[in-house]
Structure 1
């Protein structure tokens, strides 16, 4: 048990420090406030484990040099890739805190009061998880997925064209046409998707606000169901939901802050960025097998990087996701290249 106490104290202390540092970096006042609240929540959890350790005469360890280096690493990632990816990296590979505190709250090694507080921390972690899921706009996701689509589709297109056309300029022009049409399609789709999501969430928020004025119990029941689905004990969920009814819409239906126009522009820009990468060798006049080789090489490397980032965003192992996306992209391109080659042989 002593190792578990020391480990949990250090984890909570680390989270307190990193969320506080991220809050200090944040310019958006709402996000800054949210991150400071999360930091204070983690400080409270660390203090709980310190009390546990003091009662049992356990010696705790503060953050060491390696921990501080890790914090600086995350701050650099924040500057380069944004808050969303930074938080996903922070959360990836860690044990589910809701399940962990639920398990700890059932252990006989803790007193009745300590088990009660562990259940309260479990509820904190449930709210924490929901907040982190909505802490930043999906701009990074739009950009990454847009690049991925552009890479795969245009790589397949230029690969097929190079199998049928010997001129690198014509292959490049054909790839650019495919890229331009895809850019328009993706941008329009992103606009409609974001606007639809925003409209639906706003409608749900208005309905819930009206429901609060008419039937508090119905709203409380929705909160109870929400917390229990996250793994929170039913009795604790009932107790917490009473004080959270007034802000239920922020928990159940967080506001969508993305601008449909901004989402559209980001998706379109990312798609064309990805689309240009497989075309680069042909723009430099490289044709034939060498053009195909360098196109595949550039697109493969870019797809692996993008796939790894998607792995981080989706909670999948980054290297596995990168290799999976790269292999699928190259297989699609090879298939299309074969069709182009056959077309050049059998069509007049």
Structure 2
């Protein structure tokens, strides 16, 4: 093996950072693999983890120093894999390596193996795209159906009731009754639709739809339970902010997990939901005046 020349201070500093990243990702892949039930996916993740460790050892031969993994990253991506699934967590981690190729190319002048490691990293990503087939992502369509319908229907309903009733408790009561009824209706419709298509997963599909709808209902009604009767407009404003946040988080999740355009989907969902809310708000005001209701 040819003699390894000492690295320049700047390159050594960057290689140490790359070395630490490889070791950190080795621990992340290993821990995430422990949660994966599919034996093929588990084996592939462990293989990638071993390659990450091999890369770490290569960097160590050049830096001649040992490093420790970034523990908060190991904890964070493991936590994300448990809550949101390993597809989202690992794709998010891979996406955050945006500068990796640049770093590899930049240090290749002093470490020829850098280019090979860059090619290995690209192969890692392709393997991930091939193996990540979580059950929850198979039902993204059902979750989107429940979420979209709840956002559009309940946002409009609550906005209209806010001006018509001007009483947070009555609005919350009406919203909960509407939300629970709509949840059962949407879940049963999804079940019947899936059954009519001959799908064996009809029940799971309706469960995912119902859960997405139910969670959305709870989050949108919550502001009306928090604010008192005199601050119904504050509750409305908080509810609209909640709508935008739900759309933001869910769209980001789907965009990362399914490699979709984030901005387009976010603005599309936000525009529809807020437009319906504005229209319903005006309708509520007109109905209140037309019927002469004063609560």
Under a length normalisation based on structure 2, what TM-score does the superposition of the two structures give? Answer: 0.67
RMSD: 4.7
Q: Deviation at 1:190?
A: 8.6
Q: 1:48 to 1:312 in 2, by over 3 A?
A: farther
Matches within 5 A, 1:1-348: 1-51=11-61, 53=62, 58-63=63-68, 67-95=70-98, 99-100=101-102, 104=105, 108-111=109-112, 114=113, 117-118=116-117, 120-131=119-130, 133-134=132-133, 137-138=136-137, 145=144, 146-147=146-147, 149-165=149-165, 169=170, 172-173=173-174, 176-177=177-178, 180-181=181-182, 184-185=185-186, 188=189, 259-280=201-222, 290-298=231-239, 300-301=241-242, 303-304=244-245, 307-308=248-249, 310-315=251-256, 329=273, 332-346=276-290
Q: How far 1:154 moved relative to its partner?
A: 0.3
2 CA distance for matches of 1:2 and 1:279? 55
Shift in CA distance, 121/192, structure 1 to aligned 2, threshold 3 Å: farther
User: Shift of residue 19 of structure 1?
Assistant: 0.8
CA contact (8 A) 1:179 1:276 kept: no
Partner residue in 2 for 1:245: none
Report if aligned partners of 1:10, 1:63 keep a CA contact under 8 Å in 2. yes
Distance 1:93 1:313, change over 3 A: farther
Match of 2:136, SS state, is coil
Q: Would the aligned equivalents of 1:13 and 1:43 in 2 still touch at CA under 8 Å? A: yes
Seen in structure 2, the aligned counterparts of structure 1 residues 144 and 85 have a Cα distance that, compared at 3 Å, is farther
TM-score of the superposed pair, with normalisation by structure 1? 0.59
Q: How far did 1:18 drift?
A: 1.0
Structure 1 unmatched ranges of 5 or more: 200-257
Quick one: structure 1 residues 340 and 302, their matched pair in 2 at CA, closer, same or farther if it must change by over 3 Å?
Answer: closer
1:332–1:132: structure 2 CA closer, same or farther, 3 Å change rule? farther
